[in-house]
């Protein structure tokens, strides 16, 4: 529609960039700003400091149309739960408005060279955007989801339809074929709701299904067709009129509800149904009393609108800056409680910079001058980031040992697999380098640790009680595979083959195989702060042991099947599960938080693990 309006004005020679931007602003800003202002009060009341700081950045990003950039920057391995971000949905407005800031300028430049060249230029940009999106789906999935360059082709699909009709295009297609293609398009548009899930690498080529479906609906749903009658019905037209308001209101309502019910999982179905009804009511009120009046120049002059919009933007940006400078309004919480939480969150291995490699860094094997302890027995602790803090504290319980720590974040000590993210392309080379280096060092024992489940499943851990992490590691076997089942089988086979090979090469050296450290699902410091700020008794956080067992069964069975005399097994579940509460795995107890996020052990958690590990390792030294 918007492209059609631009082209019509260009044909008449009456297109005004200033008027176009004002029309877009009148359509978007009033309701957006009202919703954003209203979100401030519940955010201030409910959000803990780290989430309030993120919300403060959203207050600055929304009027700047940079929400998509903000949420892209916050995405990744240590991302906060997206479902709890009240203004998360504004990322798509950021993409849309960035597009409409640039698209008219592109039209103005290309128009001088004729419509044919305009078509060619837009087609070239769309194809490049689609191919870039396909590449980024695996190489940079967060950027692929949030940023304009990989999303532009989707919006261009509508622009091509407008260009086709602007040039006088007519579809000489029989009514029966239009009927079929319209229904097919609607089916394609809706099918993604059922065949895509939270792990689908979207957009990429997966987005072709709904995008092409939408194109078919627009092109072939002419008057008289089934889809036309459906979409032009009173109910659907009414939904369309309220769609923008419903879009604005739904995420804040759902996010604050989920935030309140964080310990119970999803909010009750009855509450969600009431929130949907409230969303529709608020959408109607927004349209009636905010959107429609602000679109009318007779009610709100251009001068008044511009001043009002600019003032609202300045206030939002200023409020966001103040809240961010205040570190998320930390004064609302007990300083002692914040000290406990921040102590856990910031409990990172002090030698991680020299002992562990992170994504995008030039990898290095452990330096000979860096180790933990002064003992004579040399132990190599080798794994991903989940062993960091435990490696640093192991020496406290093994005074006879000297601990060498080799780590690469999100890179298991396994040959025969590789991660398909560009930043982790050195993972396999790092594994080979450590393997070769270990042969020359004369170690007395090797400890292998990894987040085994994550590499096999390539899915987000769900504790079944509302805690779902937001990060996926995407490993594949070096061997050929054709589907997800074969990919998983290939990873498990690599576990068995690689660990067996290591045990054979280093025989009779003891190899200690550390099984999966229980995952939390929740960000433990966050959940602890919410619970402790309301509780009158000491906090005890835990998750279901049965969920841990089920999630880790395939990887644990693969490790169990390795039959080598020099392999000994260490079970972290013995530290956290079935200790305080039968059938539960403890995450935090009293003033001790055992995790610094949703899966990495904190100093307290690592100390408990190190003590247990030492009890298993000490007899062989």
CATH of the domain at 422: 3.40.50.1110
Residue 177 is predicted with a pLDDT of 93
Q: Specify whether the CB–CB gap between 7 and 163 falls below 8 A.
A: yes
Please choose, from the candidates 154, 150, 160, 99, the residue with its C-alpha nearest in 3D space to the C-alpha of residue 129: 150
Mean predicted confidence (pLDDT) in 45-60: 91
Q: Give the count of beta carbons closer than 10 Å to the beta carbon of residue 613.
A: 26
Name the E strands within 244-351: none
Q: What is the mean pLDDT of residues 207-218?
A: 94
Grade residue 354 by pLDDT with cuts at 50, 70 and 90: low
Rounded (to 5) percent helix, strand, coil in the chain: 60, 10, 30
Average pLDDT of the segment spanning 64-83: 82
Q: How many CA atoms lie within 13 A of 377 on its CB side?
A: 19
Higher-scoring residue by pLDDT: 82, 569: 569
pLDDT reading at 116 higher than 80: no
The answer to whether 31 touches 244, Cβ cutoff 8 Å, is yes
pLDDT at 220: 92
Residue ranges making up the domain that contains 366: 349-519+548-573+601-620
Residue (of 92, 123, 93, 90) closest to 106 by Cα position? 123
Mean pLDDT value across residues 126-138: 93
511 belongs to a structural domain: yes
Give me the half-sphere count of Cα atoms (radius 13 Å) on the Cβ side of residue 289: 7
Question: What Å distances lie between residue 200 and 78, 321, 432, 528, 585, CA to CA?
Answer: 20, 35, 31, 31, 30
458 pLDDT higher than 90:
no
Total count of domains within the chain:
1
* Residue 362 scores a pLDDT above 60: no
Question: What is the gyration radius of the CA atoms in the chain, in angstroms?
Answer: 28
Task: Flag whether 233 is in a domain.
Answer: no
Q: Where do runs of H (alpha helix) occur along 370-476?
A: 388-397, 427-441, 452-457
Q: Which residue has the tokens 């190899």?
A: 511
Give 498 or 538, the one with higher predicted confidence.
498
Check whether 201 has a pLDDT greater than 90: no
Q: 204 Cβ partners below 8 Å, 6+ apart?
A: 133, 134, 136, 137, 144
What pLDDT does 410 receive? 87
Q: How confident is the model at residue 356 (pLDDT cuts 50, 70, 90)?
A: low
Residue 98 lies in a domain: no
- Report yes or no on 457 lying in a domain: yes
Q: In sequence order, which residues have a C-beta less than 8 Å from that of residue 13 and are 6 or more positions away?
A: none
Read off the pLDDT of residues 579-610 as tens digits, 9 standing for 90 and up.
999 999 999 999 999 999 999 999 999 999 99
* pLDDT (0 to 100) of residue 557: 97
* Residue 573, pLDDT score: 97
Express each pLDDT in 514-561 by its tens digit: 999 999 998 999 889 988 887 767 889 999 999 999 999 999 999 999
Whole-angstrom distance, CA of residue 407 vs CA of residue 347? 17
- Which percentage of the chain shows pLDDT scores above 90? 62
Residue 446 parent element (H or E): strand 445-449
In this predicted model, which residue has the larger pLDDT, 260 or 178? 178
590: left (phi over 0), alpha (psi -120 to 50) or beta: left
How confident is residue 353, by pLDDT bands cut at 50, 70 and 90?
low
The mean pLDDT value for 294-302 works out to: 93
Q: What single DSSP character describes residue 468?
A: B
Who wins on pLDDT, 195 or 118? 195
d(C-alpha 138, C-alpha 201), whole Å: 7
Q: Report how far apart the first and last C-alpha atoms of the chain are (Å, whole number).
A: 74
Cα–Cα dist 360/541, whole Å: 35
Model confidence at 424, pLDDT cuts 50, 70, 90, reads: low
The reply to whether 207 falls in a domain is: no
Query: Average pLDDT over the chain, rounded to whole?
Result: 89
Could you give the CA distance from residue 573 to residue 517 in angstroms, rounded to a whole number?
Answer: 7
| 135-149, 350-364, 389-403, 507-521: segment of lowest average pLDDT | 350-364
CA–CA separation, 337 vs 332, rounded Å? 11
- Give per-residue pLDDT as tens, 363-421: 566 555 557 778 899 999 999 989 988 998 998 999 999 998 888 888 899 999 998 86
C-alpha distances out from residue 35 to 59, 329, 418, 573, Å: 11, 21, 45, 45
What's the average model confidence in pLDDT over 47-75?
Answer: 93
In a domain, 248, yes or no: no
Q: Which residue has the higher pLDDT, 492 or 118?
A: 492
- 174 within a domain of the structure (yes/no): no
31 within domain boundaries:
no
Tens of pLDDT along 301-351? 999 999 999 999 999 999 999 999 888 777 778 888 888 988 888 877 666
């Amino acid at each position: 529609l918007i492209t059609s309006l631009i082209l019509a004005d260009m044909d008449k020679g009456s297109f005004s960039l200033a008027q176009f931007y004002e029309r877009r602003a009148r359509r978007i800003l009033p309701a957006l700003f009202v919703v954003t202002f209203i979100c401030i009060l519940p955010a201030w009341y409910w959000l803990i400091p780290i989430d309030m700081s993120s919300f403060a950045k959203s207050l600055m990003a929304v009027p700047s149309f940079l929400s998509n950039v903000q949420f892209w920057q916050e995405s990744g391995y240590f991302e906060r739960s997206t479902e709890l971000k009240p203004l998360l949905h504004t990322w798509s407005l950021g993409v849309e408005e960035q597009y409409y800031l640039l698209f008219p300028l592109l039209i103005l430049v290309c128009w001088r060279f004729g419509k044919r060249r305009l078509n060619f230029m837009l087609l070239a940009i769309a194809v490049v955007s689609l191919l870039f999106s396909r590449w980024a789906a695996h190489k940079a999935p967060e950027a692929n989801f949030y940023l304009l360059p990989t999303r532009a082709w989707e919006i261009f699909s509508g622009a091509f339809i407008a260009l086709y009709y602007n040039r006088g295009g007519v579809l000489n297609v029989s009514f029966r074929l239009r009927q079929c293609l319209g229904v097919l398009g609607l089916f394609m548009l809706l099918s993604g709701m059922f065949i895509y899930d939270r792990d689908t690498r979207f957009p990429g080529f997966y987005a072709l299904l709904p995008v092409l479906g939408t194109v078919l609906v627009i092109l072939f749903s002419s008057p008289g067709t089934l889809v036309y009658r459906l979409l032009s019905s009173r109910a659907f037209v009414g939904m369309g009129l309220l769609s923008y308001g419903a879009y604005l209101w739904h995420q804040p309502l759902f996010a604050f509800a989920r935030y309140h019910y964080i310990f119970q999982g999803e909010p009750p179905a009855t509450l969600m149904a009431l929130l949907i009804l409230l969303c529709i009511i608020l959408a109607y009120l927004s349209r009636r009393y905010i959107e429609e009046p602000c679109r009318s120049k007779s009610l709100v002059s251009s001068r008044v609108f511009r001043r009002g919009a600019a003032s609202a933007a300045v206030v939002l940006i200023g409020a966001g800056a103040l809240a961010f400078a205040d570190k998320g309004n930390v004064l609302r919480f007990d300083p002692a409680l914040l000290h406990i939480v921040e102590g856990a969150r910031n409990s990172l291995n002090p030698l991680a910079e020299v002992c562990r490699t992170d994504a995008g860094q030039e990898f290095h094997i452990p330096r000979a001058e860096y180790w933990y302890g002064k003992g004579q027995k040399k132990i190599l602790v080798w794994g991903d980031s989940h062993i960091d803090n435990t490696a640093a504290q192991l020496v406290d319980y093994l005074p006879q040992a000297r601990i060498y720590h080799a780590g690469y974040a999100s890179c298991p000590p396994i040959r025969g697999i590789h991660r398909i993210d560009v930043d982790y392309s050195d993972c396999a080379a790092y594994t080979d380098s450590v393997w070769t280096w270990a042969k020359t060092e004369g170690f007395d024992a090797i400890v292998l640790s990894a987040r085994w489940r994550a590499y096999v499943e390539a899915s987000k851990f769900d504790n079944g009680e509302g805690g779902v992490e937001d990060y996926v590691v995407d490993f594949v076997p070096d061997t050929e595979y054709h589907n997800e089942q074969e990919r998983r089988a290939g990873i498990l086979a690599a576990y068995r083959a690689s660990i067996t090979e290591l045990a054979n090469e280093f025989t009779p050296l003891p190899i200690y195989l550390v099984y999966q450290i229980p995952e939390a699902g929740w960000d433990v410091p966050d959940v602890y702060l919410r619970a402790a700020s309301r509780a009158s008794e000491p906090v005890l956080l835990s998750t279901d042991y049965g969920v841990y067992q089920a999630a880790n069964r395939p990887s644990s069975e693969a490790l169990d099947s390795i039959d080598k005399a020099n392999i000994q097994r260490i079970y972290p579940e013995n530290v956290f599960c079935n200790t305080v509460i039968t059938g539960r795995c403890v995450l935090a107890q009293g003033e001790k938080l055992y995790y610094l996020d949703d899966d990495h052990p904190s100093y307290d958690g690592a100390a408990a693990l190190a003590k247990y590990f030492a009890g298993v390792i000490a007899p062989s030294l």
